[in-house]
Chain A
Amino acid sequence: MRKRVRISWPSQLILFSLFLLVRCAGSQDTSQKNIVIRWKNNQAVGLSMALSQFKAHSKETLPELLKVQLTNSKTAILGDYSIQSDSVIFEPLIPFTPSLRYEVLLENRLVGEIDIPQAVSSTTLIGIYPSQDTLPENLLKFYFVFSHPMREGHSLVYVSLLDAKGDTLPNTFLNLQPELWNAEKTVLTLWLDPGRIKRDLQPNKSLGAPLTKGNHYTLVVSERWPDESGARLTQSYTKRFVAATRDITSPDVKSWTIKTPSKGTTQALEIHVKEALDYVLLQNTIWIIDAQGKTINGVIQVSNKEHLVDFIPASPWLAGAYKVQMESRLEDLAGNNLNRLFDRDITDRRTKPSQQTVFELNYRID
């Protein structure tokens, strides 16, 4: 028969009070004084531990004796130890993860524990491009522009396309790995599955095109999408649009109009493109050249639902002849660029690709 030991209630109270005292004293020592999180760009990139708590050991031996690990793990975290004035610094290979608890051990004895606080939401979705609400049914891509760097790798979990009834449309986007983020991880390019857009390819035959003319759609971006620090977006976002006629022609630069600025000013040169073109390529493929062939420094701004390109020069305009140069890789919303169609019928001689790499428009400032 097992013997039960009972502790009287006053003794229980005293023990509980003692436990609380030790626990509070411990947490104050470790999280506020002896072990401090080092932050960089909202990420916990290291721990700073006061040398005073390791008086019994020479500081040279500390990197060998110290160990940082996840609580409930026995694996030492990889990283670098260094001594900086009165502290020993541990920098893990990757930042500590928000909401996880870590412990520091010296010769396998617990020195202290530290909780990495949960990341706070502050990242917003600044824009979805194309920004029009009527898009060709052979639309090729969306750009998502964020205020801060985002987490890569699982974007399709957080983006969905709904039909007019609110049902999610499957297999709309191409699952590319690596994903097409810019270097700063603030702009994501998402392709509607090109295999479904291109006529007669297997996915097009079996699933049809992702969009159908006349149908209404809602693009939904979930607030659960984590940014680089692991925090969610501040809210969810939607973009409603309707699919229109298939775009089967290349952009025609000859139809563009130019509004010239006055000499001696830094007014914008306005380039009115006839149809909405690719938001990112508009910023990257247009150059202003002077009569000597020199590129004019300045800034490109795209507005009016991707119909207007403003070029603002860094220095005032001088009188003379200029050229607007467009690289042939500039695309419309359906991926047709200046010299070839995205989905070309090779039996149609009229759509034979051109080899021209640069297109030009001339203008003068007097």
Chain B
Amino acid sequence: MKKMFLSVAAALSVAVLVAYTNRTASVMSGFETGTPEVKSMNALAFGPEGVLFIGDSKSASVFAVDTKDAENVANAKPVDIKNIDQKIAALLGTEAKNITIQDLAVNPLSKKVYCAVQAANGTPVLFKIDGENIQPVGLKDVKFALVPLNNAPAEDAKDQRGRPLRVWAISDLNYADGKVMVSGLSNQEFGSTFRSIPFPFTNKQEQSSLEIYHAAHGQYETNSPIKTFTTAELNGKKFLVASYTCTPLVLFPIDDLKPGTHVKGRTVGEFGAGNSPLDIITMKKGNDLFLIMANSDRPVMKIKYKDIETYEGSLTEPIKENYSTAGVPYVSFPMVNVLQLDKLDDTQFVFLQRRANGDLDIRTSNNRSL
């Protein structure tokens, strides 16, 4: 009896310990406290627990920073700030022409908008926008982790001998299903590199480096760099949805993205030459999922994921007529010169827009527009 009691007690203790461990296990348990040496902020994305990922091309690294901004807010207030560049410039003591807004990212918990700004001399500054309030986010004495994007430790060792380090220009950064995904281009050799990095970061450096081919045009394949991407589930399977300059939309099954492999994507849409995609997000209305894509030289486009799911083919023939489109159907929004997009909550998205009068505004759109 006593033996049985002891066994039950031991089992209970283990159960309590496991439950406690599960409750307290945080993605930030391996973070250190200090001041991350962020040299540039080219792309932002949020992970779990208010962790902000900062893609830093200059130091060829991704930083994960604890924002301590993890209070869950279900519905966000719309953000509407006119002349956001002038307001940020005044806070920095300069003129709007001397700053660049590099990226916007909404914290999915607090629904606050984070904004990466680069000053003319290259200094990166992070801001948090809460309603009308624009606050700087300091990176002194924060909890953080980082993962380098250079290929192998041996390469870094070589670089210590005074040869110029390769810069890894980050074009986009996203987090999904325990992985930080980064697309980019080196300043030396030509190629498309896409990395999928497990988070929390490990010492094992299990990052995948992929060259992606999109055989868009039958005879010639290309490995041009991804400009912007998102992830989506189509017919029960996870996909990377990537867009390239001039402007094919290409699907890659995420399961196929393995280290060292060459993956051939399926081109499902061509949205016109002379244009470059700037940002992609996924929004939902009712049971329908939509891809929203901002462009350099075309209006914001809306594409139904159902249309992508049912589009069986892959575009392999060049488009005959200049600037025409092909593949999945899309709808153009009456929204032009949108530079950045992010989902604010289930029914709203924020966007950075250069207005016809030259003003740069942050605005919010609700899902009525979908």
Choose one: A96, A185, A206; the contact of B274 (CB below 8 Å).
A206
Q: Cβ of B119 < 8 Å from any Cβ of A?
A: yes
Q: Which residues on the B side are within 8 Å of A345 (C-beta)?
A: 219-220
Q: Cβ of A329 < 8 Å from any Cβ of B?
A: yes
Choose one: A149, A176, A205, A344; the contact of B221 (CB below 8 Å).
A344
Question: Restricting to B142-164, which residues have a CB under 8 Å from any CB of A?
Answer: 158, 161-164
Contacts known (A73-B90, A337-B189); A228 close to B121, Cβ less than 8 A: yes
Q: Cβ of A323 < 8 Å from any Cβ of B?
A: no
Q: Are A181 and B121 in contact (CB under 8 A)?
A: no
Q: How far is the CA of A343 from the CA of B213 in the complex (A)?
A: 12
Number of interface residues of B (CB under 8 A): 63
Identify which of A8-16, A243-251, A292-300 touches chain B: A292-300
Number of interface residues of A (CB under 8 A): 73
- Total cross-chain contacts (CB, 8 A): 179
Q: Are B189 and A68 in contact (CB under 8 A)?
A: no
Q: Cβ of A261 < 8 Å from any Cβ of B?
A: no
Q: How far is the CA of A90 from the CA of B216 in the complex (A)?
A: 56
Q: Which residues on the A side are within 8 Å of B73 (C-beta)?
A: none
Identify which of B105-113, B165-173, B283-291, B358-366 touches chain A: B165-173
Q: Cβ of A167 < 8 Å from any Cβ of B?
A: no
Q: Are A346 and B188 in contact (CB under 8 A)?
A: no
Question: Restricting to B246-297, which residues have a CB under 8 Å from any CB of A?
Answer: 246, 270, 272-274, 276, 296
Encoded as 1 (CB less than 8 Å from any B CB) or 0, chain A from 175 to 192 comes to 110111111010101010
Q: How far is the CA of A224 from the CA of B164 in the complex (A)?
A: 27
Q: Are A295 and B125 in contact (CB under 8 A)?
A: no
Q: Cβ of A100 < 8 Å from any Cβ of B?
A: yes
Q: Which residues on the B side are within 8 Å of A153 (C-beta)?
A: 100, 118
Q: Cβ of A140 < 8 Å from any Cβ of B?
A: yes
Question: Restricting to A83-123, which residues have a CB under 8 Å from any CB of B?
Answer: 92-97, 100, 102
Q: Cβ of B128 < 8 Å from any Cβ of A?
A: no
Choose one: B94, B102, B220; the contact of A343 (CB below 8 Å).
B220
Q: Cβ of B322 < 8 Å from any Cβ of A?
A: yes
Identify which of A31-39, A193-201, A232-240, A265-273 touches chain B: A193-201
Choose one: B87, B163, B273, B319; the contact of A283 (CB below 8 Å).
B163
Q: How far is the CA of A75 from the CA of B133 in the complex (A)?
A: 13
Q: Cβ of B122 < 8 Å from any Cβ of A?
A: yes
Tell me, rounded to whole Å, the shortest Cβ–Cβ distance linking B348 to chain A.
26
Q: How far is the CA of A281 from the CA of B189 in the complex (A)?
A: 7
Choose one: B98, B118, B273; the contact of A97 (CB below 8 Å).
B98
Q: Cβ of B123 < 8 Å from any Cβ of A?
A: yes
Q: Cβ of B217 < 8 Å from any Cβ of A?
A: yes
Q: Cβ of A174 < 8 Å from any Cβ of B?
A: yes
Contacts known (A78-B136, A187-B164); A203 close to B273, Cβ less than 8 A: yes
Q: Are A206 and B222 in contact (CB under 8 A)?
A: no
Choose one: B42, B190, B215, B276; the contact of A175 (CB below 8 Å).
B276
Contacts known (A182-B167, A205-B318); A77 close to B92, Cβ less than 8 A: yes
The 16 listed contacts between A and B (C-beta, < 8 Å) are A92-B93, A94-B121, A141-B190, A151-B122, A153-B118, A183-B165, A194-B222, A201-B220, A205-B322, A281-B189, A284-B164, A284-B188, A329-B191, A343-B220, A344-B221, A345-B219
In the A-B complex, list the 8 residue pairs whose CB atoms are closest, starting with the nearest: A77-B93, A75-B90, A94-B119, A180-B187, A202-B273, A206-B322, A329-B189, A97-B94
